[in-house]
Amino acid sequence: MTSSRTVLVTGATGYVGGRLVPRLLEAGWRVRVLARDPARLEGRPWRPQVEVVRGDVLDAASLPAAMQGMEAAAYLVHSMRGGEGFEQRDLDAARAFGRAAAAAGVRRIIYLGGLGDPASDLSHHLRSRQESGAALREAGVPVTELRAGVIVGSGSISFEIVRYLTERLPVMICPSWVATRAQPIAIRDVLAYLVAALAGGPSEGRTVEVGGADVLTYGEMMRGYARARGLRRWLVSVPVLTPRLSSYWVHWVTPIPADIVRPLIEGLRNEVVVRDGGLARQLFPEVVPLAYDEALRLALARLEAASVETSWSDPLAASRADRPPVQLAVREGLVFERREAHAAAPAGHLFAAVEGIGGARGWPSWNLAWRVRGMLDRLVGGVGLRRGRRDPDRLRTGDALDFWRVEHLEPGRCLRLRAEMKVPGEAWLEFEVRPEADGGSRLVQTAIFAPRGLWGHVYWNILYPLHGPIFGSMVRRLAAAAEARARAAGPGPGPGPA
């Protein structure tokens, strides 16, 4: 934080902005973040290293204080939804931001816009992205506008549309836009361009089109995804699906709302291909864009690790009092099912109860159901429950635990199990123990499922009704077991980390 280079980042709660902030910190920038609701940044690992200022690009009065002392600014906001007047709101916000930057003496602005030939009949969404770049420039501050198309990365909205359609539909009745060409770009390459552009130099004040190494149709992107996941998919193109009908179709197949999908679908009629690739290579020779297959592999690796940095759908965090008994979310192709319970016992006792599950001791709730699941797994050639566990009380990373494997263990704090039973996808069960101010502790139990193809989603929907009684009872019984341990042990802090 001793760097003299200062930058204001907008859109830090969003997909690109949330990933740009840590890259800027690594590059030595001193970062200030503009956030309409600073609470949405809680839990980000980089939060303690940045200054957060409350403000909104649509509230011009909030911008001067945020701009004060900044050398550069990153403008990474635009309307996700369409609706009446969204283009004007985007223009008003960009103009206000540009004027505030000029008044504060900001030396340059970087902006992430959208590809598309401006001389063609661009969709309202793409046209608005490009007009916002022009509006930023009106006040005279040099603007480096990077124009990109489909961003390939775990959690990006364009990539998630491709993911969900390909995963869920063995046969896709596709509109004509599947034949439209695009130049997908890896999120890491987008971030590399943004960091390089912030440094200034010859890119200052230029509009630069950026893309990956391949030009593909949307249909080819879906087929490439299917190959990477080992899926067989058939695409049948029909001319009758209008953008409005297509948006409803995508809405029902994916978790993305129709009002967000519609402006994106309307833009799929436009080719988003770099027209002058030589300019990006000349201005940013250090960035060598990845091919689509490699970008896809990196994105899928995030799914395999159940680790996604940011998402298009990053939700508002609810207060603890407002949390429902079960929190169900679908993000980046993963289903998260989270339950919590408070234990009137120290964290050490709670983690000891968690660490002792399975094996000869059995499972905390519905143990017969777990045994039946193990028998069914054995019938289809799986490992079943016969493996038990190495030690009745202690676990270590790599241990077998019935039909689970210990994937991650942080003694006293976190245990993550990865399923090795036969399932159409990948599954994890994670337990996190958090000490609380009243001397007790909280157990956060999360079931994570990455369905593979249509059968993966069918499997999840069939079993989900059983999760309420099984997983809901489990989190409560583990808390009760910790309280029993604490009573038996008498006064004291409880067992420490193993």
Alpha-carbon distance of 45 to 213, in angstroms, equals 32
**Which pLDDT belongs to residue 44?**
79
Give the residues across from 404 on adjacent strands: 401, 419
Same domain membership, residue 285 and residue 157:
yes
CATH number of the domain encompassing residue 251: 3.40.50.720
List of residues 6+ apart from 441 with CB closer than 8 A: 342, 343, 345, 346, 347, 349, 350, 433, 434, 435, 482
DSSP string, 125-174: HHHHHHHHHHHHHTTS--EEEEEE--EESTT-HHHHHHHHHHHH-SEEEE
Where a domain ends, among 304, 332, 365?
Answer: 304
Q: Which domain holds residue 459?
A: 320-488
pLDDT averaged over 10-residue windows placed end to end, the chain, 498 residues: 78 89 94 88 84 93 95 88 74 95 96 92 88 95 95 81 81 81 94 94 93 93 90 80 68 66 78 90 95 90 58 39 53 78 94 91 87 82 70 84 88 91 89 91 92 81 84 92 90 57
Asked whether residue 444 is assigned to any structural domain, the reply reads yes
Please check whether residues 217 and 361 belong to one and the same domain: no
Do 391 and 447 lie in one domain? The reply is: yes
Q: What is the pLDDT of residue 316?
A: 31
pLDDT at residue 495, as a whole number:
66
> Does the residue 494 lie in any domain?
no
Same structural domain for residues 340 and 474?
yes
Indicate if 470 and 324 belong to the same structural domain. Answer: yes
pTM score, two decimals?
0.67
Tell me, what CATH number does 375's domain have?
3.30.530.20
CA separation for the pair 491, 91 (Å, rounded): 63
- Give the chain's domain count: 2
Same domain? For 224 and 340 the reply is no
pLDDT given at position 235: 86
Would 171 be classed as within a structural domain?
yes
